[in-house]
Amino acid sequence: MRRLIAVIMMLLMLTGSTLPAFGAIVTNADPWAKTSMELAYNQGLIKQEDLLDAKRDITRLEFCKIVVLLYEKSIGEKLVPQNESPFTDCDDPAVISAYEAGIISGTEPTKFEPNKSLTREQLAIMLNRILKAWGIALSPGTEKYAFSDISMLMEPSIDVINKIYEAGILVGDNNGKFYPMRALKFQEAVIGLVKACRYLEENAVLPKNDGATDEKEEPKEEVTVEKEKPKEEVKTPADEKQDVKNIYETVYIKDKAVSLGGTSEALIKSWGKPDRIDQTVFGLKRYVYIGDYETYFFATLKDNKIVEVFVPTKHFSYLETHGEGTSADIKQLDFISLVDHSGIIDTETTYARIPLDYEGKIQGVLLQNREFAYGTDVRSGLTTLERDSLRKELFDFIQVKRKAHGLPLLTEHEKLTDVAFSHSKDMVENNYFSYTGKDGSNPFIRILSGGVVFTNASEIIVKQRGDVTNVYQQWMRTAAQYHSLLDPSMDSIGIGVAQKDKDLYVTIDFCGGIKG
C-alpha cells in the first residue's frame, strides 16, 4: 500500500491552471486531450512521436505497452515474463507480462491480434483489470444496460462497461450510446487511462502512518539486574498533552527548531534578524531567512505569533519526515490531496502540507496553524509592496532549487522583469491565460521588444489562486516547468506578478547570453 501511495501521487492530475514551458511540449491532440497527453508524456508512458500523432488509431499492442509501463511504476519493478507467450500471433514481452499479471487477455484463447485497433469495449475491460490489479473493485452498475447499444455483447463485457460508466471513467454520447466496437484514437485511450488513475486516487484507502516501519518488531525480553532508577520528574496529563502539541507545531531546519505560536522576538533570538520582512496576500508580515538558499525558510506572523512556516529545501524534518524521500516516506500521513498535490497531516491545531513533485518526491513542508489554514482568506487587490514581496519570494524559490541541483544562480534583470510584468498585467486586464499575447506576440517577440537581446530564452506562466506557496506547488508538479527552472543555459530572469480577484497571474522570463 505504501508503494500505491507513491504511484497515486506520481499520477495526480494537474488541477491548477499551468502550461508547460513555452515550446516545451508540442502535440496535435485536441484541446480537451492535451492535459492528459502531457501528463502521460511527463511520466514517461508515451513518446514524443505519440504527442505529434495523437489522433491516430491506437493498437492493442501500443496500449498494452503503456499499461505495462504504468503497472511497473506502481510496483516499483520491471515485469519479466515467466513463461512462453500464450498467443501464437504475438511474443512481445509486454504482452506476455501483462497476461501473466492478469491485466490483458486475448481476443481468442491463442490470439492477441496486436496490430488491430483497440476498441472501446476492450479499453473498458483493460481499465477494469488494471484497477483490480491495484486492489480497486468497481461497484456494479445501477442499470441493466448503461447504454442502448451494448445489449448484444457478452454478459461479462456488459457488466464491465456498466461498472466503468458508473465510476465515471468512460461515458457515452448524448444519445445514450457507447459504441463498443468503435476503434479508439490514441488520445482517447490515454484519457481513459488517466481517468482510471484519478478514480484510483479518489478511492484508494490510504493507511494512517503513525511513523512505525512496515515490519512490526516485538519488544525484546532480556534478564537484567534491576538497578535503582533515578528519580524522574512526574509529568501531569496537561504536560504530556503540551509535549504532543509541540511536536506537531515544530519544524526542524538542520536540527534547529521553528515552532508555530512563537513570537517575532523569539524567532529573532533563535535565528537572528531576518533577511527581509515581506508583505503577504493575507495582509500579514512574513519573516524571510535566506540562509544562502540552503536553509531557506519563511515564517508568517499574525498578532506577533507565527502561524505559518514554509521550507522549500531538503534540509528539514517534520514528525520524522525528511526532505529526501517520496510520498511513501511521509510519516503520520492522513491522506494525499489531489487539490494540493501534497501529503496532508491534519490535527486539531495544525495543518501540514508536504509538497510533491511530478515524480512524487518530497519538495519541502508547509506547516500552518489550523485556524489560519482554514480561516484566513486571500485579499484581492495587490499593493505595490505586496507584489514586490511575491516576486522576491518566487525568485527565492527558484534559487533554492538551482542551488540544490548545483546550478549557477540567476540574476534578476530589470528589463526582463518589466516584460514579464507587462504580460501578467495584460492577461489580467484582457481576461486570458496564454503564452500568446492579445496582440499575437509570443515570448521571444515580447523579450526582444523589451530591449533584451539574448542567445536563448524561455517563459513560464502560471495562474493560481492563493499565495506563492500554491504557485510553488504548481511548478513542482509540472515536469516541463520544473525542468525550465533548472535550465543550466539560463543566467538571467524576470518575474512579473499580477492579481485578478484572488488568482495570481505569474510570468517568468528566462534568458541566457544576454548581449549588451
Q: What is the DSSP letter of 289?
A: E
Cβ proximity of 387 and 504 under 8 Å: no
Cβ proximity of 226 and 71 under 8 Å: no
Provide CB contacts within 8 A for 465, sequence distance 6+.
16, 378, 502, 503, 504
Is the full-model pTM beyond 0.85? no
List the chain pLDDT tens, one digit each, 516 residues: 444 544 444 554 333 445 555 545 678 999 888 888 877 886 778 888 899 999 999 999 999 999 998 888 777 678 899 999 999 999 999 999 999 989 998 999 899 999 999 999 999 999 999 999 888 889 887 788 889 999 999 999 999 999 999 999 999 888 889 999 999 999 999 999 989 888 887 776 544 444 443 333 333 333 333 434 444 444 444 444 444 458 999 999 998 999 999 999 999 999 999 999 999 999 999 999 999 999 999 999 999 999 999 999 999 999 999 999 998 899 998 887 756 678 999 999 999 999 999 888 999 999 999 999 987 677 778 899 999 999 999 999 999 999 999 999 999 999 999 999 999 999 999 999 999 999 999 999 999 999 999 999 999 999 988 899 999 998 998 888 899 999 999 999 999 999 998 889 999 999 999 986
Q: How far apart are CA 32 and CA 76, in angstroms?
A: 31
- For the chain, the straight-line distance linking the first and the last C-alpha, in angstroms and rounded, comes to 56
Burial letters 369-384, b for 16+ CB under 10 A, else e: bbebbeebebeeebee
pLDDT for the residue numbered 486: 95
Of 355, 259, 262, 358, give the one whose Cα is nearest residue 314: 355
pLDDT for the residue numbered 365: 98
The grid coordinates of residue 164 equal 466503468
pLDDT for the residue numbered 422: 97
pLDDT for the residue numbered 477: 84
Query: What mean pLDDT value characterizes the chain?
Result: 86
pLDDT for the residue numbered 142: 79
Max intra-chain CA distance, the chain = 85
Q: How far apart are CA 400 and CA 315, in angstroms?
A: 11
Cβ proximity of 62 and 183 under 8 Å: no
Distances, alpha carbon 15 to alpha carbons 3, 35, 38, 206, 459, in Å = 23, 10, 13, 21, 20
Contacts 24+ apart (CB under 8 A), 260-266: 260/305, 260/306, 260/307, 260/308, 260/309, 260/350, 260/367, 260/368, 260/369, 261/305, 261/306, 261/369, 262/299, 262/305, 262/306, 263/304, 263/305, 263/306, 264/301, 264/304
H or E segment and range at residue 470: helix 468-477
pLDDT for the residue numbered 440: 93
pLDDT for the residue numbered 70: 86
Of 31, 34, 39, 37, give the one whose Cα is nearest residue 13: 39
